[in-house]
A and B are shown apart, each in its own frame.
Chain A
Amino acid sequence: MNTQINEVRSDIGEEAPAFRLEKMSIAYSGNVAVSGVTLNIPQKQLMALIGPSGCGKSTILRSLCRLNDLIPGVEVSGRISLFHEDIRQMDAIAVHRRVGMVFQRPNPFPKSIYENIALGLRVNGYRGRIDEMVERSLQQVALWDEVKDRLRSSALNLSGGQQQRLCIARALSLQPEVILMDEPCSALDPIASLRIDNLLNQLKQYYTLVVVTHNLQQAARISDSVAFFNTNNDNGRIYGTLAEYGPVVQVFSEPQKKETYDYVNARSN
Chain B
Amino acid sequence: MQGEELDLSAIVKDVQMRKSISIRKFWDVLFSFVALSFLILGLAILLLLIFQLFVDGRGLLFSWSFYTSFPAPNAAEAGILSAFVGSLFVICVTVLFAIPIGVAAGVYLEEYAKSSSSPAVRILTDFIEINITNLAGVPSIVYGLLGLEIFKETFKLGNSVLTAGMTLGILVLPVIVVTTREALKSVPSTLKEGSIAIGASKWQTIWDLILPASIGSILTGVIVSVSRAIGETAPLITVGALTFIAFLPPLPFSDRFAPDPQTGELVRAGQYGLFDWLFSGYTVMPIQMFDWVGRPNPEFRVNAAAAGVVLVLLTLVLNSAAIFLRIYFRRRIKW
Interface of A with B (CB < 8 Å)?
Answer: 65, 67, 70, 72, 93, 96-97, 100-101, 103, 105, 107-111, 119-120, 123-124, 154, 156, 167, 170-171, 174
Q: B193 in the interface, Cβ–Cβ < 8 Å?
A: yes
CB distance from A109 to the nearest CB of B (A): 6
**Contact B194–A96 (Cβ < 8 Å):** no
Given contacts A96-B198, A100-B197, contact A123 B332 (CB under 8 A): no
Contact flags (1/0) for B171-210 with A, using CB distance below 8 Å?
0000000000000000010111111111111001000110
**Contact B193–A107 (Cβ < 8 Å):** yes
Given contacts A93-B199, A110-B335, A156-B334, contact A103 B194 (CB under 8 A): yes
CA distance A124 to B332 in the complex (A): 26
CA distance A48 to B278 in the complex (A): 66
CB distance from A73 to the nearest CB of B (A): 10
Closest to B205 in A: A123
- Chain B residue numbers with a CB within 8 Å of A72 are 115, 117
CB distance from B305 to the nearest CB of A (A): 47
- Chain B residue numbers with a CB within 8 Å of A124 are 198-200
Q: B226 in the interface, Cβ–Cβ < 8 Å?
A: no
- Jot down 19 A-B pairs with beta carbons below 8 A, ordered by A: A67-B193, A67-B197, A70-B115, A96-B196, A96-B198, A103-B190, A103-B193, A103-B197, A110-B209, A110-B213, A110-B333, A119-B200, A120-B198, A123-B201, A156-B333, A170-B198, A171-B198, A174-B198, A174-B199
Assuming A101-B197, A123-B200, what are 15 further A-B pairs, CB within 8 angstroms? A67-B193, A93-B201, A103-B190, A103-B194, A103-B197, A110-B209, A110-B333, A119-B200, A119-B209, A124-B198, A156-B334, A156-B335, A170-B198, A171-B197, A171-B198
CA distance A100 to B194 in the complex (A): 10
Tell me the total A-B contact number using a CB cutoff of 8 A.
Answer: 72
**Contact B335–A123 (Cβ < 8 Å):** no
Interface of B with A (CB < 8 Å)?
Answer: 115, 117, 188, 190-201, 204, 208-209, 212-213, 332-335
CA distance A227 to B195 in the complex (A): 28
**Contact B193–A70 (Cβ < 8 Å):** yes
CB distance from B199 to the nearest CB of A (A): 4
**Contact B196–A67 (Cβ < 8 Å):** yes
- Chain A residue numbers with a CB within 8 Å of B198 are 96, 100, 119-120, 123-124, 170-171, 174
CB distance from A210 to the nearest CB of B (A): 14
**Contact B190–A120 (Cβ < 8 Å):** no
Residue from the list A65, A105, A108, A110 in contact with B197, Cβ < 8 A: A65
